[in-house]
Structures are given as C-alpha cells and as structure tokens.
Amino acid sequence: MSLAVEIEFRLNGVVRRATVPADMSALVMLRDVLGLTGTKYGCGEGECGACTVLVDGACINSCLMFAVQADGHRVTTVEGLANPDGTPSVLQDSFCETHALQCGYCTPGMLIAAQALLDAVPQPTEAQIRDAIGGNLCRCTGYQQIVDAIKHAAARLARKTGSESNFEAL
C-alpha cells in the first residue's frame, strides 16, 4: 500500500487540498480525486499530449507527473481557461469557429498547449504554432483547423489590444 500524502496547491486559481497516494499521477488526481475530467487520459506514457496541463505556466504531461509534485504549485486545466463568467475564452471560441475539433479528445491538451504559446508569444508565427502543438496528437482533424484556430485567436486578441498580428481574423 502506498503512503498517503497531504498536498496543497492552486488549481485554476483556487487553493485546493488533497490527500493522495505517493505513487498517484497528477492526471488521476485531477480526474478521479478532484473530478476535473476535462484533462484526458490517452497513452499514459507521455506520447500523446491529451493530459497536458499548465504547471506554473509551463506545459506538463500530467500522466508523467506525480500528484505530490503539484504541492505548492499553480496548476491550470482546461476547465480554468474559460472567462471568469464561464463563457468560452477567445481561444476556446476560436476552436469552435474554425471547426478545430471532431471527437474532441485531443482538444483540452491542444487548448492548453495553445494557451501556453499565446501567454509566452502573443503574436506567434505559423511555425511557432506548429511547434507548440508538436507534442499533441490528433486522430481526426489533420491539424490544419487547429492551426487556423490558434491563428484566429491571435488575430482576435491583437484586435482587442490594438496590436499587430501576423494573421487576419477570419
């Protein structure tokens, strides 16, 4: 039997406490202990990106992270990307507008990867967009609509802030 450990961390802006087995993955904690099922289990071995979350702003495969490693850190899941009033963010809405999902299984990880990119590089190039989602597999879309969604989001965000974009909003 694995040792149980108490941890405290900030999840989507809210301080959460949990008691978790020392060998539990962060992915299992998020889904099965804390009930946030937006983050998906795909391969379980760091290959598909379906389980991607932000830890202190960086993309992490939560299937490869122990839950106890969240202690003292900031974790953002796809549930934390919406606007404070619960409406979809510009990025989420852009995925809808460009039909960037079919089965949607990869979408939470894609959104997290895209959010991390736009946080770091608000007006990326297409090469930077493709590089940012390089660790996320999609079986359905052929990726083009996902790239288009991130371009569209960047253009919409530039329009909001009055800055230059590499892309036109659709």
Q: Catalog residues that contact ligand FES under the rule CB under 6 A.
A: 41-44, 46-51, 61, 63, 101-106, 138-141
Structure tokens at 36: 């946030």
The smaller minimum CB distance to ligand FES, of residues 68 and 165, is found at 68
The smaller minimum CB distance to ligand FES, of residues 52 and 165, is found at 52
Q: What is the residue-wise DSSP string for 93-114?
A: HHHHHTT--SS-SSHHHHHHHH
Q: How far is the CB of 46 from ligand FES (least distance, A)?
A: 5
The smaller minimum CB distance to ligand FES, of residues 42 and 124, is found at 42
Answer for the pair 30, 62: CB distance below 8 angstroms, yes or no.
Answer: yes
Identity of the residue numbered 16:
R
CA-to-CA distance for 161 and 150, rounded, in angstroms? 17
Q: How far is the CB of 7 from ligand FES (least distance, A)?
A: 20
Q: How far is the CB of 143 from ligand FES (least distance, A)?
A: 9
The smaller minimum CB distance to ligand FES, of residues 46 and 88, is found at 46
The smaller minimum CB distance to ligand FES, of residues 115 and 165, is found at 115
Q: How far is the CB of 145 from ligand FES (least distance, A)?
A: 9
Placement of tokens 């909003």 in the chain? 169
Q: Report the alpha-carbon angle 85-33-86, nearest 5.
A: 5
Q: How far is the CB of 101 from ligand FES (least distance, A)?
A: 5
Q: First and final CA of the chain: distance in angstroms?
A: 54
